[in-house]
Structure 1
């Protein structure tokens, strides 16, 4: 029996295994990184407003304090940079030393840095922001590592019939993170509001931000460590994936033993077959690498496809968050800042963002879980990009109509649908597919590269469009920002990004119903470079 094919036998039982309780345990354990990611991303937009009031209010100013643009960009952007770095580093490391070996490190980083972010210190506002940025970089580094590792681990544990749903369920833990962030922010703020009532800023600027408000943002950030800490023990108990052990570490006997233990499947026959010395495949000991011509021939277009579609998706997805405050203010969900105390503002914004997430963001994740293995990744991604473009154009073309008094409800519905089709679409599939189509020895690396491209898109969407979407009228821009092209033209640009993502999806293959080895062609005897 050829060695390149003998290792496949130990994995056939895994592809055919029934869905078991262990799969659901793995979803929760693997999903905690995404829970923490979504929790942090949701909460940081809330607490930065409170931090602005606590540290940057100017005496006698008619409006409450806000973070200066450069400080706001640093606090929000440093986590993105950390995430990008972690995706590349831990993706590479997961292929070099194994998924399990570094999996606990990412969660430990998240736990420590979530707590440390809430303990940020300094003798001045700049000092507090500097330590907050330091810890948020390393928090992002840990979160970034979870992207390639969690996706790869779940794909390698799952059977081929329900693999897409399992990976999507890991990613959908972001939805629970968003809701938890909203619940924690609302709950803690409500407690402090009742204990320490304060007047609106317009009535008494100094008293509108009680001293205890400095504790609120710290507690909210630290709370993100709790779910991660609760699952740390179970993450450390997870065995190495059978596919890594068999195909990369070349220890099929250990892979068989691990599979028997966690999935309760008998694979003694396969274990005996793969224990035999490999013969007839002298090339198998020298597999091709990431920078080889063979990889470029087999997977070069795939990598361009998974990286570029993720980049374009995140440009469109993250820039949409910029319009929330304008929409909320227009429909009266959030009163003017000066008419509220610091804690009132935090409460209103948390409630509004949670409602949007509950109506548009979270359902999309679970529609993907339900239909990913029925419709396939390709169709869902194409439809998602197309519908995102359609709804953005639906917002942009009659923009004056939507912003006129009485029409804001329709704007909110259209806005929510763009998030729904992002999550029941490319926001999920761009995460799933890179974990399914590359060889085991490069799977985490290629997923990390694709995810890092997405994070570049997130940086462009979050910060590039923050400037781009400013009004072209210098008198109407946000404080500290130069004129831009306005929201309407920005929506046209974002629709173009979605259409480009639609076209580039054709570079990505459909993995539905196929084994990982079939997609990566590791079941071929000549899957190595001379």
Structure 2
């Protein structure tokens, strides 16, 4: 006798009586409920570790590329005889590309799957970095950097969605913090690569080696990601249940008996899709405008505004870290440009270690205290760190008090940023939106963040030239407080839940 395919539940009320309620307003087929429970309750295994390492490639390459660009600009400026306008375009090209890439990558990952985007982005980024290394003029270099930024930007929503959908519930927050922490790891590794390059050559063309290194990183991750399976939740969302159970088998159990049980579930499900969303059910993925549906508008604002304000501060400072360290007289006693850059690269890398310390705190604190609490606390800590830096300007540069306040301010700012907003803004979009809209929402939030980063990159040098360092630090302080205010105004209940429970009708 032919089994009749169950219909999709209607979130507005009616659903087949046999469907399982995961949360108020969230009902799925019982076999889907079983598969989702297996994913959420699985012990953390080697398969999870491999998935995390490979999915972290985009954030690693992001930090690696941003650092390398900061180190390359002084050399490129002389080697290609760049104008001030050219330098400004170089500083913003990576971020401008990321804005477009994040928006496109999110929509693409919701339509074609996470894995194709994860693979394609790394090859695009690797090719673009190689093109940047081979550039002969400013126009070619800017164009290559825009494409490099687009590749990295496309990766953000795909990787965050993939990690959120594959990890066990109790480990999801911790692993997602570790994923964005790869950004800081990329910066530290880049600092060591750059300092090694500068210690072996004084050639102005050494900047090409830096971009070739980024190309190698992108190509390596692109090849390695072919080993990944597709996201089980995305596969279930489009009704590809046989593929979904094979993907789940990687994470949950070994042995033929367990695999046979999973195959039996897939056979009963046939091509029935999961529909766990606040939006009315349908066969097509919701469009971009669904982010502004009343069911998700609050979550869209919460996912975008705080991340925007954080990146106004952090990306602007991060890209010009070498310049800021130079103002602290690091490398002052050296003569050649390459020697100064070697010292600055090492100094920047040592400073970036505090980013890693912040992420380590976040890996413990975010699951324990919640995403919203840590985001609020982190923004306040950033404001305090910026305040210490502002206070330091009241003392002469040679004063021990000035030096102590500068060190304390940077340490506090970096620790607070990474223990809080830099971790939580990456997590929230991937948790708050449903599977069919997850990458789109994450991509929109990442694009808004890169918009804030671009604004910071433009504003910081302009404000410093027009009004001085105090005004720059005042801008960082204001951005941190605005991040706190927007988080507080649009906060949601942030208790640890399954991704499907986050779609409950009774949640803000």
Residue 111 (1) aligns with residue 136 (2): no
Aligned to 1:502: 484
| Alignment counterpart, residue 293 of structure 2, candidates 285, 292, 296 | 296
| Alignment counterpart, residue 387 of structure 2, candidates 389, 393, 398 | 393
Is contact 1:2-1:278 (8 Å) kept?
Answer: no
Structure 2 length-normalised TM? 0.86
Is contact 2:106-2:440 (8 Å) kept?
Answer: yes
Residue 217 (1) aligns with residue 240 (2): no
User: CA–CA distance in 2 between the matches of 1:294 and 1:405?
Assistant: 52
Give the direction of change, closer, same or farther, for the CA distance of 1:131–1:173 in structure 2 (3 Å limit).
Answer: same
> How many residues align structurally?
472
| Alignment counterpart, residue 139 of structure 1, candidates 148, 157, 162 | 148
Q: How does 1:363-512 map to 2 (within 5 A)?
A: 363-397=357-391, 399-401=393-395, 403=397, 405-410=399-404, 411-470=406-465, 484-506=466-488, 507-512=490-495
1:405-458 superposed Cα distances (whole Å, 9 cap, x missing partner): 333421122122211211111011101111111011110001000000000100
Q: How does 1:190-209 map to 2 (within 5 A)?
A: 190-193=199-202
Q: Secondary structure at the match of 1:297?
A: coil
| Alignment counterpart, residue 227 of structure 2, candidates 220, 237, 259 | 237
Give the direction of change, closer, same or farther, for the CA distance of 1:512–1:273 in structure 2 (3 Å limit).
Answer: farther
User: CA–CA distance in 2 between the matches of 1:156 and 1:280?
Assistant: 15
1:306-325 superposed Cα distances (whole Å, 9 cap, x missing partner): 10011000011123347745
User: CA–CA distance in 2 between the matches of 1:244 and 1:341?
Assistant: 54
**Distance apart, 1:305 and its partner CA:** 1.1
User: CA–CA distance in 2 between the matches of 1:175 and 1:325?
Assistant: 15
Give the direction of change, closer, same or farther, for the CA distance of 1:398–1:223 in structure 2 (3 Å limit).
Answer: closer
Is contact 1:2-1:280 (8 Å) kept?
Answer: no
Aligned to 2:55: 30
Is contact 2:430-2:438 (8 Å) kept?
Answer: yes
**Distance apart, 1:102 and its partner CA:** 2.3
1:381-425 superposed Cα distances (whole Å, 9 cap, x missing partner): 111001111121222245212645333421122122211211111
Aligned to 1:344: 339
User: CA–CA distance in 2 between the matches of 1:22 and 1:367?
Assistant: 25
Q: How does 1:309-328 map to 2 (within 5 A)?
A: 309-321=306-318, 324=321, 327-328=324-325
1:274-326 superposed Cα distances (whole Å, 9 cap, x missing partner): 34969999x63357835668962221011011100110000111233477456
User: CA–CA distance in 1 between the matches of 2:207 and 2:421?
Assistant: 32
Give the direction of change, closer, same or farther, for the CA distance of 1:514–1:400 in structure 2 (3 Å limit).
Answer: same
Aligned to 1:203: none
Structure 2: unaligned runs, 5 residues or longer: 1-17, 21-26
1:438-488 superposed Cα distances (whole Å, 9 cap, x missing partner): 011110001000000000100111111210122xxxxxxxxxxxxx22221
User: CA–CA distance in 2 between the matches of 1:346 and 1:180?
Assistant: 15
Structure 1: unaligned runs, 5 residues or longer: 57-66, 122-127, 194-211, 471-483
Give the direction of change, closer, same or farther, for the CA distance of 1:270–1:368 in structure 2 (3 Å limit).
Answer: farther
Q: Secondary structure at the match of 2:330?
A: coil
Aligned to 1:164: 173
User: CA–CA distance in 1 between the matches of 2:163 and 2:449?
Assistant: 20
**Distance apart, 1:364 and its partner CA:** 1.3
Give the direction of change, closer, same or farther, for the CA distance of 1:230–1:502 in structure 2 (3 Å limit).
Answer: same
Q: Secondary structure at the match of 1:161?
A: helix
